[in-house]
């Protein structure tokens, strides 16, 4: 057991808060075929913004969902930047369409995310969005991998004119993501508080056990 010099309760509280906020801000990766978004006049980009806002509302704090069309800057090494963003993602949202499975980079994003999760021993958080129906193919590695996860059915979403009905579909999907992220945050919180829990407010001492 390590014992440190006296520190104030306020100092410990502030340190815990900053550490927790720094490590618990979820970051998603929006894996999609840009051609689909272009053909649909930005519908997929709009869906990403709406889901990001809904998840943030449900969690009560900021959530980032990386989308390459918004965040890749001129001069960036595109391939390296995408791989880096995948490696930093807490969760993956692949937008499933026939085009998605025909794009090498889309396939690589999913398989890279799965490989990194396997290497780290973490359960991969993947929330597929079925946007356009596609043919099953048991010989397709990516289709087989994604088939293990429950998808959100958005196949009729773009045809719905009633905004309330669209919002309900988004909210149900966001609730699933919220539940998984809250569980992940709870585990991380336990680690954080284990470090600080033996702080003796009366004696002003601080211990790591």
pLDDT-derived band at 91 (thresholds 50, 70, 90) equals: very high
Q: Give pairs for 72-79: CB < 8 Å, separation 24+.
A: none
Write the CATH number for 52. Answer: 3.40.50.10140
Residue 207 in any domain: the answer is no
pLDDT-derived band at 192 (thresholds 50, 70, 90) equals: very low
Residue 195 in any domain: the answer is no
Does residue 206 register a pLDDT over 50? no
Average pLDDT for residues 31-41, to the nearest whole number?
95
Q: Which two tokens stand for residue 116?
A: 């990194």
Cβ count within 10 A of residue 137: 11
Q: Which two tokens stand for residue 39?
A: 């053909």
pTM for the model: 0.76
pLDDT-derived band at 115 (thresholds 50, 70, 90) equals: very high
For position 43, what pLDDT does the model report?
Answer: 97
Contact criterion met (CB below 8 Å) for 208 and 1: yes
Q: What residues contact 103, with CB distance under 8 A and at least 6 apart?
A: 33, 35
Q: Helix 104-120 crosses helix 78-88 at what angle (to 10 degrees)?
A: 40
Does residue 42 register a pLDDT over 70? yes
Does residue 101 register a pLDDT over 50? yes
For position 187, what pLDDT does the model report?
Answer: 43
Residue 99 in any domain: the answer is yes
How far apart (Å, rounded) are the C-alpha atoms in residues 5 and 113?
42
Range list of β-strands (E), the chain: 2-4, 27-31, 64-66, 91-96, 129-130, 152-153, 206-208
Percentage helix, strand, coil for the chain under 3-state DSSP, each rounded to 5 = 55, 15, 30
Number of residues written out for the chain: 209
DSSP label of 205: B
Residue 170 in any domain: the answer is yes
How far apart (Å, rounded) are the C-alpha atoms in residues 29 and 86?
6
Average pLDDT, the chain: 81
Domain count, the chain: 1
Residue 69 in any domain: the answer is yes
Residue 32 in any domain: the answer is yes
pLDDT-derived band at 112 (thresholds 50, 70, 90) equals: very high
Give the structural domain span for 136: 25-186
Residue 192 in any domain: the answer is no
Residue 19 in any domain: the answer is no
């Amino acid at each position: 057991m390590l014992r440190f010099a006296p520190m104030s309760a306020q100092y410990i509280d502030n340190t815990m808060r900053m550490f927790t906020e720094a490590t618990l801000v979820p970051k998603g990766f929006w894996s999609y075929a840009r051609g689909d978004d272009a053909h649909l006049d930005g519908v997929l980009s709009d869906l990403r913004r709406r889901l990001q806002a809904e998840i943030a509302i449900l969690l009560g704090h900021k959530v980032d969902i990386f989308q390459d069309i918004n965040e890749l800057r001129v001069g960036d090494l595109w391939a390296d930047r995408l791989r880096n963003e995948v490696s930093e993602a807490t969760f993956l949202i692949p937008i499933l369409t026939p085009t998605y499975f025909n794009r090498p980079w889309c396939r690589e994003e999913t398989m890279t995310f799965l490989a990194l999760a396997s290497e780290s021993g973490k359960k991969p958080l993947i929330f597929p969005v079925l946007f356009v129906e596609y043919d099953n193919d048991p010989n397709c590695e990516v289709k087989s991998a994604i088939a293990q996860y429950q998808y959100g059915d958005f196949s009729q979403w773009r045809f719905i004119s009633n905004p309330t009905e669209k919002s309900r579909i988004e909210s149900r999907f966001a609730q699933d993501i919220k539940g998984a992220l809250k569980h992940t945050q709870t585990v991380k919180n336990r680690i954080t508080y284990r470090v600080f829990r033996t702080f003796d407010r009366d004696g002003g001492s601080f211990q790591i056990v």
